Amino acid sequence: MMGDLEVEKHVQFVLSVEKKKDDFESVAMEHIRINGAYWGLTTLDLLGKLGVVDQDEVISWIMKCQDESGGFGGNIGHDPHIMYTLSAVQVLALYDKLDVLDIDKVSSYVSGLQNEDGSFSGDIWGEIDTRFSYIAICCLSILGRLEKLNVQKAVAYIVSCKNMDGGFGCTPGGESHSGQIFCCVAALAITGSLHHIDKDLLGWWLCERQVKSGGLNGRPEKLPDVCYSWWVLSSLIIIDRVHWIDKEKLAAFILNCQDKENGGISDRPEDAVDVFHTFFGVAGLSLLEYPGVKAIDPAYALPVDVVDRIFIGRR
Amino acid sequence: MHGRPRKQPSLKEDNASIEKAAKLRSLQSLVLHNHQNKIYDKEALEVSSKLLELNPELYTAWNYRKLAVEHALLSEENSDTIRAILDEELKVVENALRRNFKSYGAWEHRKWVLRKEYSSVDQELRLLDQFQKADSRNFHAWNYRRFVAKLKNLPAEEELKYTTSMIESNFSNYSAWHNRSVILSHLLKENPQGLDSKHNVLKEEYDLVHQALFTDPDDQSGWFYHLWLLAQTAAPDAPSLISFWPAHGSDLVVSSNGSLPLILYFDQVVEGKAQAWMTYLKFPELGNNSSEVYTIEVSLGQVNGIISSSGSSLSLPLRFTFTTRVQSTPSEHSEGIVTMKMLSWKDEEFCRNEEVLQYFNPCILPSDLQRINKDCQQTTLKWKLETFTHEIALFRDLLLEMNWQLSCKLLKIGMLTLARLLLAHDALMLHNTTSVSQKANCKEILELLQDLMKLDPTHSRFYKDMLSIVLMEQMVSNRNSLEGYCWYYGTSTSSLTQNIICLRLNNLSLSRIGSFEHLLWVQMIDLRGNELRSIEGLEVLQRLTCLNLSHNNLISFTALAPLRLLSSLKVLDISHNEIGAHSIDTTRYLCSSLLSQSAGDGCNLDEYAINNVDIAKYWEAVLVFKGLQLTQLDVVGNAVSDDDKFSLLLVKILPKLKWLDGNAVY
């Protein structure tokens, strides 16, 4: 069952997703194609195969998704939203092409979404969620414009979403969820505010996400899912508690979710694969220091060499 | 795809999918077209509701409907018509949710409609009831419930009852337990009808969570809720000082123009970031051969600033004094170790000397400061101890009576909870009484944790870390035991005054260290041969001059970030660790670094540029070591030290370095 990482097959799978356009799932996902681009291209980069895609084509398409407000939509013709803006910035960062952006314009769009209480809306319609706090902080940090935000208030809002179990929810009072915890922990990491976290309490909750099969779930009493190999694992790494889980068992679980025939990784063994889980599976293996996979940064969700290029290069 | 089996679709399914896809595509194009051209007629709106029923995730379509509603409301004043328009939106949302009740866009659209304040609460609560019955863990529904409760000012007591009914119908509902903790925290904070009320509330909660824990031990809801109750019980009300340096009544020698750390260690995080407050007393420069004596009094009242996160200020005022003798000529009595020759950590360099231990003042709080005052604190303390004692008895009985018949999960959580209760009990005793039996539970705690490591191997290192903390506390928290680890650096024949006490905690397989409040006096510590991955907290040992961390499991320079705050550190041994051997650095963000906002402390890497050395490759080392006054460093036996150029860099970053890896630096 378990075996090595099928690098070549996963590369082919990612490329095939990009070409597949006519089935129902592909059409239904068209509005988040820019997320798909980030998942797929980062997967390729982690596997050392970013070169197989035509860079100019990707960048010119990405730039067509930008709205006059400065924000990006999930695809050409779709409304701008902070989620797709981050994906656009991340893809450009992968290619070391942030200079094609009007950085002030993009960062004004993002900082314009901060509310009086420090929280962030996803777009002009005002949905508030700590996911958007992470996105804003991550995005502006990559763009070198964090000073455009009221960081102190942004941090205070995230802290107000902390729960009895040490985790974080979408808004104050919201239940802890591993995806949400990643967003809040990573945002606190980027802003140098990790002292707000009770690392032992949160670490225990996170390490108890590992179930018998070795996989991680996102909340108590839920099924394991490969995507939590990213959300839980990156959070555990940021707070230095990753040794509290069994890493070998987790790696085995991820490898078991590969489609060894046609490439791609699924949420659980024998389920249908998709590019989202393929990315989180490969990223999880990267965090587990799996040989042959490039290291990924647990807070920016970009390869470490890309992050170092941005931040150490900018010093 | 979430939860969908992996199989090749049949040709028939393929065709059906393509057909459905074509329909979806044409709807999507039509809606985007209408959106771009601001077409909001009835027909156009119907197309969008069809589309959202098919694909509720299409956020732009929800935006389009919001624009259409705003457009319609613009010219509408009749409240019935407005209500009808908004009801239509609620219907579209409901249909979308029936297709995918996890759709962020659909729930958010509903909130947007509700904020217009035309819709009835009852209808929302009815709908929620349906969704929460169908999936009692749906966090969108719970979030929406909290939203409605807040928007419509529903009484918190009613919402608390709702969680009770959800829990009673099924204990295994983490979402309900969570919401309960939110509502209760709010109620206890907003409406504290005296202490009794809080104590009674928590008592009832303990009873409820016991039922959950023992009925369905596989369910984790009770685990976390019980731990939360424990934390609520143990939480100190007002901060108090548990340790400080210099010790009360001590007599210290400082060199002219020198400085001395003043460290206050509290039982909780006070105003701002840390449990420990540190500052430096600077002494004036004196003329030749003169000396001055200063008596220093530190007085802590209910000072502004010493405030806990819950807003209480210092529990009782405290005052301590010490004297310092400032001398113009540096002498061996001076603060700090004079490192004229290379320091060796070999066993033969250390000796035991009972005579000198008499003068050893490890600054454990004088007993007259350990008193508990104020009646209300007495009442609370009594209640805390009673609660812990009761819980401890309950869990001991559980484990005794049923032991190996218990399911593995119940055994695990029973043992862990008991260990935590015993720890909380001991901590309460340690800081509030002078009783001798305060450490009576230590052996039991250690046994529980050792058993847990075997019982639950997946998390063995979690228990191991806990065990290390307990072991360390056992070793250093009382004088008798502490003395067993205190050695003199120097031979038994050399003059005692030249020597220094070294705390030797080597080869104890500690994976974590703690109890720093007992170690503020330490100048020299030997931690070699343990399993440390982190030295978090070590930064409070402001007097530390010599530190041995060799043969541990440190994986990066960022793990050494606490050293940046140790201005007295001269001798450091980090040889034989795993620095540079890992691609993922688990302390990358715990260290304030170039990657995070606090990086603004102006680290200029180029300052250390050397020909042919890729300085960016070693930025973590530069970040941690720059500004340190190290005279002796051992780094051999790490992956990073294989690179010869790295030594050149170290010499450049550390201008005072005299010995590197046992060789003199020129």
Mind giving me the DSSP string for A216-256? B-SSTT----TTHHHHHHHHHHHTT-GGGS-HHHHHHHHHH
Structurally, what CATH architecture does the domain formed by B492-664 represent?
Answer: Alpha-Beta Horseshoe (3.80)
Let me know if A34 is exposed, middle or buried by CB neighbors in 10 A (0-12, 13-18, 19+): buried
What residues contact B236, with CB distance under 8 A and at least 6 apart? B267, B268, B308
pLDDT value of position B335: 46
What residues contact A214, with CB distance under 8 A and at least 6 apart? A224, A246, A248, A249, A250, A252, A253
Residues of chain B with C-beta less than 8 angstroms from the C-beta of A257: none
Within an 8 Å CB–CB cutoff, is residue B268 touching chain A?
no
For B619, which residue in chain A has the nearest alpha carbon?
A: A312
pLDDT band at B367; cut points 50, 70, 90: very low
A121 strand-pairing partners:
A128
Min CA distance, B582 vs chain A (Å)?
Answer: 8
pLDDT tens column, A239-253: 999 999 999 999 999
pLDDT value of position B10: 81
**Phi and psi of B576, rounded to 5°?**
55, 55
Whole-number mean pLDDT of chain A? 96
Q: What is the ipTM of this complex?
A: 0.96
CA distance A205 to A219: 9
Q: What is the number of other CB atoms lying within 10 angstroms of the CB of residue B370? A: 15
Residue B393 has pLDDT above 50, yes or no: yes
Within an 8 Å CB–CB cutoff, is residue A247 touching chain B?
no
Helix (H) / strand (E) element for A214: namely: none
Residue B466 has pLDDT above 80, yes or no: yes
Residue corresponding to tokens 């790295």: B646
Nearest residue to A276 via CA among A46, A64, A89, A42: A42
Q: What is the mean pLDDT of residues B296-313?
A: 76
* CA distances in angstroms from B466 to A62, A200, B482, listed in the order given: 49, 10, 20
pLDDT tens column, B598-652: 544 556 777 777 777 778 788 899 989 999 999 999 999 999 988 888 999 999 9
CA distance A41 to A309: 18
CA distance B444 to A269: 42
Within an 8 Å CB–CB cutoff, is residue B55 touching chain A?
yes
pLDDT band at B366; cut points 50, 70, 90: very low
pLDDT tens column, B22-50: 999 999 999 999 999 999 999 999 999 99
Reduce the DSSP state of residue B240 to 3 states and report it: coil
> Residue B538: what residue type?
L
Nearest residue to A130 via CA among A91, A170, A162: A170
For B29, which residue in chain A has the nearest alpha carbon?
A: A77
Within an 8 Å CB–CB cutoff, is residue B371 touching chain A?
no
Question: Domain B23-234's class?
Answer: mainly alpha
pLDDT band at A21; cut points 50, 70, 90: confident
* Most confident residue range from A162-176, B252-266, B299-313: A162-176
Within an 8 Å CB–CB cutoff, is residue A240 touching chain B?
yes
Residue B17 has pLDDT above 60, yes or no: yes
Chain B contacts in chain A segment 127-156 (CB below 8 A): 127, 141, 146, 151
DSSP per position, B430-457: HHH---GGGGTTHHHHHHHHHHHHHH-G
Select from A243, A244, A260 the residue whose CB has the most chain B CBs within 10 Å, as the one to mutate to test that interface: A243
pLDDT tens column, A188-229: 999 999 999 999 999 999 999 999 999 999 999 999 999 998
Classified by CATH at the fold level, domain B241-335 comes out as Immunoglobulin-like (2.60.40)
User: Which of A86-95, A163-172, B130-139 has the weakest average pLDDT?
Assistant: B130-139
pLDDT band at B368; cut points 50, 70, 90: very low
Where along chain A do its domains lie? 7-314
pLDDT tens column, B132-173: 988 999 999 999 999 999 999 999 999 999 999 999 998 889
CA distance A170 to A82: 15
- Stronger pLDDT, B16 or B404, i.e. the higher one: B16
Classified by CATH at the fold level, domain A7-314 comes out as Glycosyltransferase (1.50.10)
Where along chain B do its domains lie? 23-234, 241-335, 375-471, 492-664
Within an 8 Å CB–CB cutoff, is residue B60 touching chain A?
yes
B324 strand-pairing partners:
B252, B294
Residue A14 has pLDDT above 90, yes or no: yes
Residue B11 has pLDDT above 60, yes or no: yes
Whether the bond into B9 is cis, omega within 30 of 0: no
Residue corresponding to tokens 């680890």: B485
Residue B594 has pLDDT above 70, yes or no: no
Q: The sheet that has B259-266: what strands, in order across it?
A: B241-245, B259-266, B276-282
Reduce the DSSP state of residue B297 to 3 states and report it: strand
Within an 8 Å CB–CB cutoff, is residue B275 touching chain A?
no
Residue corresponding to tokens 């979806």: B24
pLDDT tens column, B526-551: 999 999 999 999 999 999 999 999 99
Residue B315 has pLDDT above 60, yes or no: yes
Backbone angle region of B406, left / alpha / beta, with phi > 0 → left and psi within -120 to 50 → alpha: beta
Q: Are B105 and B89 in contact (CB under 8 A)?
A: no
pLDDT band at B381; cut points 50, 70, 90: confident
**Phi and psi of B462, rounded to 5°?**
-65, -50
